[in-house]
Structure 1
């Protein structure tokens, strides 16, 4: 633990006078844009990253999201300088830092287990980066006090780490990472050690602090809710590649591929046949004619490649977009039967069997005063064509 933290903070370049001006506001920042250009990394026969490129704007918080082994942690380690790429370049504010050591990159990092020093006080933990940067002892106190105010822990400087709660330790780790005013902040599963309720509260706190500071941030997480809540942009990865990047709302509402649709929340996947189409719309047929007459409708799309008449493809619809109540005039309707129901406090989660499609749909509905529908009840499943998202094939 010590070696990793020491490598991040033992700076060959003292922190600038402007950065350490005690009169400067706590939210001052020298945030810089980060550029990843064609990064590739192999570990023996395993390709961890495959020609990955990403631009992170100054002051932006980008979340790298994906399953274990997708390459997100390798990406963070390359940015930090703990690993070096086999190909590609890393630039901070246009400066190539691809092959320079961690202590010369001007970065801050919050580790998954915080990596705080238990034998030091809270103040000494926060001041560690300043000490490594060569800031004289008498000049550290004003900056530590500013950080304690910023993380809303004034007066906690003399406490030991063991006396702090998990959420407080997380904030101390953040203060230690930002006290030197880094150009880029790296967050490695920053809330992974917290329980669910505390983690949800800290999502808002961390995002607010990051916004106040305006520091360029890259966060690695496997938690979809965390990525959606905290980030300005979500980057979904798999097999060392970026599958989709965009605002949380864009990626959630308009996933490009089946993997993104199913990884970033729940999704119902339906196969369709193209009847005809133009640049921005398709007339499609849903259903198996051997079971029942197919349902036809017109939907919009933003595919990179056109689909010819007779082609089959997939579309996705989120469970909360489906309705079991009165349908609108332009809705697609399917007869179904409730096969299961789970009460989740704020909502009912249903499983609806649709015989004409030969599949089961997940449906979320807000819980009202009633107890909801019971298994065995017949329902009409209604879908707005506007909520159907046409999916592209997975990249090869």
Structure 2
């Protein structure tokens, strides 16, 4: 698989500042002893863009950030900022700002002293430091907090101070290492929009490391999905979610129904397949769009995925594929109902999500017969996974597997 990803046509949604710079990793590799942490990763980040490195523990995202920051150096390849090779430069010579997961604020200093620390280390004049600190306090919406101690702040306020300290020196690239990991769920969701607002207003080229799928999808111009030291897929959040490249991406970015299929025929634009349910029951024939990546290397057996929210119950539309099914399990999750179904030809354990407050939704009871339907283009042919699967996010059903909702309901 080609591990080179570029974004020459991508334009970040924020306004670019004059000093916005590109970030380029070219064929970067890194080993620690016998362990391969990164395997020939190439990535281009456009000026003013916010890119998230997303993946499970051990996928290489933190190593990538450390190579950008200068805390480690690549075994092969180069790191360029604004066209300058910085691969051998120490962190303080790269013009970066960084926000750590634990914020690393100085408890013996006031909020204002923390924010202005970088300018003091750079030898700026007191008047300039004071003026810049005031601007930062206004920017993070804490104008009256300059004399407070760090211990007097909430977690969200500390996070804003850490962000202000990172950007006061006008960095060429901002690095965010799990910046919201120390916050509770409600506060974390609010701070996602706060950080995104600041990044877009300032137009700073930014790279964020996270294992939180929602965080990456909410905040990013592009998402870089990584696994086993490799880049698996890069794209806008919606594109990566709607068109996962392989099973790993489909699983990691939310829930997916995945079906084994035998390829019967192909054209330039589509393939005809027959599903292969577990237990030897007859499959059904489907026509799927043929991804560009499979044009020249199409296996005889592939996997196909459809998201649970793409599946309608008792609400077929013209042109949609329809299947009879039966409700096996039901879980209410507040904003949605999760149904598990047995569907002849597709198998058991098929998930369908229905919005709880939609006027189109009518509740379904266990054992009820229903009609399941989805648009043909919502079932995606997947590439074979190139590397072994590691820790997975979300939930995947595979025809014939044990009940997914039974275990969820027990949690």
TM-score by length of 1: 0.89
Tell me the residue number matched to 1:377. Answer: 368
Q: 1:386 aligns with which of 377, 380, 383?
A: 377
Mapped partners of 1:291, 1:75: distance in 2: 45
Tell me the residue number matched to 2:265. Answer: 276
In the alignment, structure 1 residue 90 sits paired with structure 2 residue 99: no
Please report how far the alpha carbon of residue 288 of structure 1 lies from its aligned counterpart in structure 2 after TM superposition: 5.1
Tell me the residue number matched to 1:339. Answer: 328
Please report how far the alpha carbon of residue 290 of structure 1 lies from its aligned counterpart in structure 2 after TM superposition: 8.3
Please report how far the alpha carbon of residue 45 of structure 1 lies from its aligned counterpart in structure 2 after TM superposition: 1.0
SS across alignment from 1:304: helix
Answer yes or no: is the 8 Å Cα contact 2:284–2:345 preserved in 1: no
Mapped partners of 1:29, 1:329: distance in 2: 51
Q: 1:259 aligns with which of 226, 248, 264?
A: 248
In the alignment, structure 1 residue 208 sits paired with structure 2 residue 234: no
Tell me the residue number matched to 2:165. Answer: 176
Tell me the residue number matched to 1:326. Answer: 315
Structure 1 gap ranges (5+)? 1-26
Tell me the residue number matched to 1:235. Answer: 224
Cα deviations across residues 112-143 of structure 1 (Å, max 9, x unaligned)?
Answer: 01111111000000000101111122320000
Cα deviations across residues 47-103 of structure 1 (Å, max 9, x unaligned)?
Answer: 000001000000000000000000000000010011111111000011110011000
SS across alignment from 2:363: coil
Answer yes or no: is the 8 Å Cα contact 1:276–1:308 preserved in 2: no
Mapped partners of 1:309, 1:241: distance in 2: 22
Please report how far the alpha carbon of residue 358 of structure 1 lies from its aligned counterpart in structure 2 after TM superposition: 2.9
Q: 1:64 aligns with which of 37, 53, 59?
A: 53
In the alignment, structure 1 residue 155 sits paired with structure 2 residue 144: yes
SS across alignment from 2:160: helix
SS across alignment from 1:242: strand
Mapped partners of 1:116, 1:361: distance in 2: 48
| Correspondence list, 1:1-396, <5 A | 30-287=19-276, 294-306=283-295, 311-368=300-357, 372-395=363-386
Mapped partners of 2:281, 2:71: distance in 1: 59
Residues 376, 117 of structure 1: alpha-carbon distance in 2 compared, 3 angstrom cutoff: same
SS across alignment from 2:312: coil
Answer yes or no: is the 8 Å Cα contact 1:110–1:173 preserved in 2: yes
